Amino acid sequence: MKMHNKVIVVTGGGNGIGRELALHLLSKGARVAAVDIDESALAELVGLAGGRKEHLSTHVLNITDKEAVEAFPEQVIARHGAVDGLINNAGVIQPFVRINDLDYATIERVMNINFYGTVYMTKAFLPHLLQRPEAHVANVSSMGGFLPVPGQGVYGASKAAVKLMTEALYAELIDSNVRVTVIFPGAIGTNIVVNSGVADSLDVNMEDAQEGPMKPLPPARAAEIIVNGMERDRYEIFVGRDSTFMNFIYRVSPRRATRFISKQMQSLLTK
């Protein structure tokens, strides 16, 4: 589905990949409804939109509030006249600790935002998308959604749930007007650690972590890859060389891939 003149909802639109998705979609002639819980981040997005801000609406919304989400599509339609696409991008990671040391409140928060937020948004918008001549749902999973990452076990479980739910949605909608895509970002240069409130759990220099043979992909480039993949109606989109490489290794030998990523994560799990 080409994005020109389409109305696309983007969750997590105030920061990181979501912000860049909103800006890239605007640059392609789309109208964008950007959703975030952070009002100040959405205000910054409006400033960055420049002359295209007339095609942008911003909405402060807690995607874990089922009743608020169910009422939200009518707000988008009232502002833009229709809705043609949904990108469920919003998500948080967990503290870098083992499952044995992870408290239940954090587990529930991660699952509520990453999985249930995606489910609520999908169910709220799907009836409207099915009425359009063509439409698209794209859900952001993670490299951690197909590869077990020590210290991110529940985060990975939430993203694996997004992966399988999205794949099932694809199967259910094969004969419909709605295309479905699942997205697997690798390391992206965003502020997700800070925005997730888990920076204190890291005993490493995050600036140093940005260096190395597999540097995080700039979020603007990630957004470009995602939108280009959606326009080609891709079933899966792997964002970054690390995601592409680890998907290959995991398919060849799940145990070897798990041992490899376990070794890479040891420095974050020394406590």
CA 4 centroid distance within chain: 21
Per-residue confidence band for 192, with pLDDT thresholds at 50, 70 and 90 = low
**Which residues form the catalytic set?**
155
Number of neighbours of residue 92 by Cβ within 10 angstroms: 20
Q: Is the pLDDT of residue 27 over 60?
A: yes
Buried b (16+ CB within 10 A) or exposed e, 135-174: bbbbbbbbbbbbbbbbbbbbbbbbbbbbbebbbebbeebe
Report the domain count for the chain: 1
Contact between residue 235 and residue 170 where contact means Cβ atoms under 8 Å apart: yes
Please give the distance of CA 15 from its chain centroid, rounded to a whole number.
11
Task: Evaluate whether residue 23 is within a structural domain.
Answer: yes
| Residue 38 burial (10 A CB sphere; 0-12, 13-18, 19+) | middle
C-alpha R_g of the chain: 18
State the Cα–Cα distance between residues 246 and 242, nearest whole angstrom: 6
Please report which confidence band the pLDDT of residue 196 belongs to, taking 50, 70 and 90 as the band edges. very low
Given a contact cutoff of 8 angstroms between Cβ atoms, the answer to whether 247 and 238 are in contact is: yes
Does 2 map to a domain?
no
Site of tokens 């999985």: 115
DSSP-assigned letters across all residues of 107-143: HHHHHIIIIIHHHHHHHHHHHHHTTSSSEEEEEE--G
Residues in Cβ contact with 169 at an 8 Å cutoff, skipping those fewer than 6 apart: 122, 137, 180
Parent domain of 27: 7-268
Task: Kindly report, residue by residue over 111-167, the tens digit of the pLDDT.
Answer: 999 999 999 999 999 999 999 999 999 999 999 999 999 999 999 999 999 999 999
CATH number, domain with residue 30: 3.40.50.720
The tens digit of pLDDT for each residue in 205-247 reads 434 444 444 578 999 999 999 999 999 999 999 999 999 999 9
User: What pLDDT score does 265 carry?
Assistant: 82
Q: Rounded to an integer, what distance in angstroms lies between the CA atom of residue 259 and that of residue 35?
A: 38
Whether residue 235 lies inside any domain: the answer is yes
Count of Cβ atoms closer than 10 Å to residue 56 Cβ: 24
Distances (CA, A) of 125 to 8, 84, 113, 257: 11, 9, 17, 37
pLDDT above 90 coverage of the chain, percent: 85
Supply the pLDDT for residue 212: 42
pLDDT digits (tens, 9 = 90+) for 161-180: 999 999 999 999 999 999 99
pTM: 0.91
For the stretch 47-57, pLDDT in tens is 999 999 999 99
CA distance 117 to 122: 8
Q: Do the bridges between strand 31-36 and strand 7-11 make them parallel or antiparallel, or are there none, so unpaired?
A: parallel
Computed over every residue of the chain, the mean pLDDT equals 91
